[in-house]
């Protein structure tokens, strides 16, 4: 049985891990490799590094830290932020990342998804979608969310874009629900459930985790494959080992490390 | 001990190399036939699709080199699939070293394809490659095609259907998951391979 995945997300800005509330007011949380190792040791199933400044500034991810992380950790990790071409993606993947996640650049030029899937296989291609509910009740896509002054609301409906992204070659979808992000009131189960019905590749919930029950609900109600969170882990409010034991007791298939300790 | 990683263009080569470094082995990355023939251990990593993977080995003139190897060889992920007879992915003829066919996972409710994430290993045979592996140990998989359980399966995994997680025939071995990304379990299995 495939386990559900717990995925700490490390938002990277200028080579440090940061976290803001509702994507604003970022504060430094720590050094990249230190936090990566801490989460590996605690039993995180995967890590996502999201360079939140790269896309609005039109630059790519600095690959130096990608390689440092790849040398140190032995769990999969994904790099997001400012990957706008096959060349950018190749650099990050060759530096040791397992997957690349594209968000704003895919909205600028959707063919990028097809190109990356053709070059590296769909398993390397994650499409991140930042989504917000508009006044008319529709979920629509936001672009350039790393910088509030540059964030744009798009006419694209979130679920339409998610469907198109899969058709083009997304091997995984990270749905970032901005209405719930950073406020720890729970994942957006309504939106995730709607997305799950249309998502035939792995679906990762993002935005809103505050308690262990929030993770359980995302897995048992919205049936997501993975749950991504940042501040609850970085602040120590929830420890990954406690969360995994809790989820196992709640009947969620989860990877616990006990059986792995051979030496 | 000399270990080489066959440089067939896969994007996980760096990760496999780092995983070996963490075990104290500095593996050379090479597409040179002589270096591959004379190594103590050969690893064929691989991420991507079967047809370009085989095409790349053909362009490098390595098909018969790999077929003729007598030292322990390990294929990882696509590298394992290339050791088999054929792959349904692009109807590709593979190296033919392990008699098995690679099939696509059928999508089903609660079964996304690609199969991406941590799944349990179920040892089916006793083999030095599986030393200290326990039933239910977790490994990290990312693939859309798989080898059905058969005569050469050493460990299986279950994704609605059982499939081969570890296969071997003679000196040729394959792991469908990524040992380089499977935490301590993966490190143990790589160490076992180095000790064959």
Which has more confidence, A144 or B104?
B104
B185 touches chain A (CB under 8 A): yes
Q: Are B160 and B108 in contact (CB under 8 A)?
A: yes
Domain encompassing residue A221: 5-260
Residues on chain B touching A41 (C-beta within 8 angstroms): none
Q: What is the mean pLDDT of residues B111-138?
A: 94
Residue A148 has a pLDDT of 74
Put simply, the chain B residues between 41 and 80 with a CB less than 8 A from any chain A CB are: 47-49
Q: How many domains does chain A have?
A: 1
d(CA B168, CA B80): 9
Confirm whether A130 is a catalytic residue.
yes
CA-based nearest residue to A210, from A191, A190, A238 = A238
d(CA B134, CA A259): 7
Verify whether the Cβ–Cβ distance A76 to B120 is below 8 Å. no
CA-based nearest residue to A8, from A250, A258, A248, A244 = A244
Q: Report helix, strand or coil for A109.
A: coil
Q: Say if residue A262's pLDDT is above 60.
A: no
Confidence of residue A31 (pLDDT cuts 50, 70, 90): confident
d(CA A148, CA A130): 13
Contacts of A142 (CB under 8 A, 6+ apart): A130, A131, A132, A151, A152, A153, A154, A178
Residue A260 has a pLDDT of 43
d(CA A55, CA A89): 14
Report the CATH number at residue B174: 3.40.50.880
Residue A62 has a pLDDT of 61
Report the CATH number at residue A86: 3.20.20.70
Residues on chain A touching B183 (C-beta within 8 angstroms): 40, 74-75, 257, 260
Q: Are B72 and B42 in contact (CB under 8 A)?
A: yes
Contacts of A57 (CB under 8 A, 6+ apart): A82, A147
Q: How far, in whole angstroms, is CA A191 from its chain's centroid?
A: 16
Q: Which of B77, B89, B94, B115 is catalytic?
A: B77
Q: At what angle do helices A111-120 and A86-94 cross, to 10 degrees?
A: 40
ipTM reported for the complex, 2 dp: 0.90
Q: Are B138 and B185 in contact (CB under 8 A)?
A: yes
Q: How many domains does chain B have?
A: 1
Residues on chain A touching B189 (C-beta within 8 angstroms): none
A1 touches chain B (CB under 8 A): yes
For an interface test with B, the pick among A6, A98, A122 (most B C-beta atoms closer than 10 Å) comes out as: A98
What are the pLDDT digits (tens) for B40-57?
Answer: 999 999 777 888 889 999
> What average pLDDT is seen over chain B?
94
Domain encompassing residue B72: 3-194
A262 touches chain B (CB under 8 A): yes
């Amino acid at each position: 049985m495939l386990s559900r995945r717990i995925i700490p997300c490390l938002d990277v800005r200028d080579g440090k891990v940061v976290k803001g509330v509702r994507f604003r007011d970022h504060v430094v949380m720590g050094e990249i490799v230190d936090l990566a190792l801490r989460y590996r040791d605690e039993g995180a199933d995967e890590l996502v590094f999201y360079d939140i400044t790269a896309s609005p500034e039109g630059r790519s991810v600095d690959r130096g830290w990608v390689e440092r992380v790849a040398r140190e950790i032995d769990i999969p990790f994904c790099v997001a932020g400012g990957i706008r071409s096959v060349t950018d993606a190749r650099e990050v993947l060759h530096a040791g990342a397992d997957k690349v996640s594209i968000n704003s650049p895919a909205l600028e030029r959707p063919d990028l998804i097809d190109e990356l899937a053709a070059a590296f296989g769909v398993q390397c291609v994650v499409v991140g979608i930042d989504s917000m509910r508009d006044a008319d009740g529709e979920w629509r896509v936001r672009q350039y969310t790393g910088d509030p002054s540059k964030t744009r609301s798009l006419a694209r409906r979130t679920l339409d874009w998610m469907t198109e992204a899969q058709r083009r070659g997304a091997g995984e979808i990270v749905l970032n629900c901005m209405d719930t992000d950073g406020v720890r009131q729970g994942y957006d189960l309504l939106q995730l459930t709607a997305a799950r019905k249309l998502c035939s590749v792995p679906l990762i919930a993002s935005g809103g985790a505050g308690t262990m029950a929030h993770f359980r609900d995302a897995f048992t109600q919205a049936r997501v494959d993975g749950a991504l969170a940042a501040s609850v882990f970085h602040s120590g409010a929830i420890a990954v080992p406690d969360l995994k034991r809790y989820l196992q007791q709640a009947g969620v298939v989860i990877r616990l490390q006990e059986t792995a300790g051979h030496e | 001990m000399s270990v080489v990683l066959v440089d067939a263009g896969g994007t996980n080569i760096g990760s496999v190399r780092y995983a070996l470094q963490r075990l104290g082995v500095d593996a050379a990355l090479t597409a040179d036939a002589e270096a591959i023939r004379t190594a103590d251990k050969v690893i064929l990593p691989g991420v991507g699709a079967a047809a370009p993977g085989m095409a790349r080995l053909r362009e490098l003139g390595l098909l018969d080199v790999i077929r003729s190897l007598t030292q322990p060889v390990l294929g990882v992920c696509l590298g394992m699939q290339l050791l088999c007879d054929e792959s349904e992915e692009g109807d590709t003829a593979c190296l033919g070293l392990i008699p098995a066919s690679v099939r696509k996972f059928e999508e089903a409710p609660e079964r996304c394809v690609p199969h991406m994430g941590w799944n349990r290993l179920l040892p089916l045979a006793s083999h030095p490659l599986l030393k200290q592996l326990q039933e239910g140990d977790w490994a990290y998989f990312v693939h859309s095609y798989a080898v059905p359980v058969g005569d050469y399966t050493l460990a299986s995994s279950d994704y609605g259907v059982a499939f081969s997680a570890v296969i071997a025939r003679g000196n040729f071995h394959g792991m469908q998951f990524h040992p380089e990304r499977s935490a301590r379990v993966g490190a143990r299995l790589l160490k076992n391979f180095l000790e064959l």
